[in-house]
Amino acid sequence: MSGPLNGVIISVTLRATMGRRRALLFAVPAVVLIAVAALLAATAHGGSWRPEFLGDFGFTIVLPLTGACTVDTDAGGADLAGRSDVFTAITDCAYVPRDTAYRISTPGGGRFALASARSDAEGLPFRHVKADEVQVEIRGAGACSRRVNNFGTPDVLEADRLIACEVFTPAGNWSSFPPHKHDTDRPGESVLEEIYYFEVADGPNGQPGLAYQRVYGTADRPADVLAEVRSGDVVVVPHGWHGPSMAVPGYDLYYLNVMAGPGKREWLICDDPAHSWVREQWRDEQVDPRVAAWTAP
């Protein structure tokens, strides 16, 4: 499932539990492949690595979670400055075209996410998305306040099918709420598979953090997952309502969203009508200052 390794140690242990055999919880670093979207999250302890694990999955975004790296390809290259952690900084990233061999070098080591999507498109260039090009969005208010870093969305990055962003949710807040879905081709909704990769901040004495994720389906396409998630866990959502993502008190929550679908590259969601009213109360609430005080580079 991986290509030649040169001085890099990559963990690929995997566990999975299924909720009514419709949604999966993975503990990674591991390779996660669904019909259109794919993700690999790996820890590298220095050296260089040529990924070859995604087969016919086409374009790939290389995103540093921690640490810096260099991405070299025949179509171009970039030195990614990276970051020390996912909670306090935005990172730059690299977009690697389809059918392009590439190498990742990281003398200092780090954790890196490779987000990909199945594609037949050609002609898109290599791209270095700098940190100051990432569009920062504040969503919600009150206990639903969260910050979204849009580095791989249609407004920022030209790509085929692949959509990616990352979300910071302060301790005690809820995000991915109201619950929503994107699994039906109709006006106002697009068909997108989604992968959530989680990291949870430690406590003040290094206690491992935890959070929770909810996924549920419809009568025609059932799913029923309420999972405790910790750093390195992944929740796969091939269909159905998903949310909330719950940051428990004391532990900040980060997740990376990787989405892709068979149709037009649009991120159109449908709220669960039973909970859509929650958006109305945000009009009378203040944005959590832990989100509002944060500024992009």
Rounded to an integer, what distance in angstroms lies between the CA atom of residue 238 and that of residue 22? 8
Rounded to an integer, what distance in angstroms lies between the CA atom of residue 67 and that of residue 186? 41
Cβ-proximal residues to 219 (8 Å cutoff; 6+ apart), any chain: none
The CATH number of the domain holding residue 57 is 2.60.120.10
What's the domain range around 178?
A: 5-121+134-276
Cis, bond preceding 178 (omega within 30 deg of 0): yes
pTM of the model: 0.88
pLDDT value for 124: 86
pLDDT tens string 214-254 = 999 988 998 899 999 999 888 889 999 999 999 999 999 99
pLDDT tens string 133-188 = 999 999 999 999 999 999 999 999 998 889 999 999 999 999 999 999 999 999 99
pLDDT value for 169: 97
> Structurally, how many domains does the chain consist of?
1
pLDDT value for 34: 64
Is 295 part of any domain? Answer: no
pLDDT value for 70: 97
Is 293 part of any domain? Answer: no
Exposed, middle or buried: residue 15 (CB in 10 Å: 0-12, 13-18, 19+)?
exposed
DSSP-based three-state secondary structure for 223:
coil
Is the pLDDT score of 1 beyond 60? no
Rounded to an integer, what distance in angstroms lies between the CA atom of residue 243 and that of residue 261? 19
Out of 45-54, 108-117, 150-159, 279-288, least confident range: 45-54
Is 138 part of any domain? Answer: yes
Rounded to an integer, what distance in angstroms lies between the CA atom of residue 74 and that of residue 35? 28
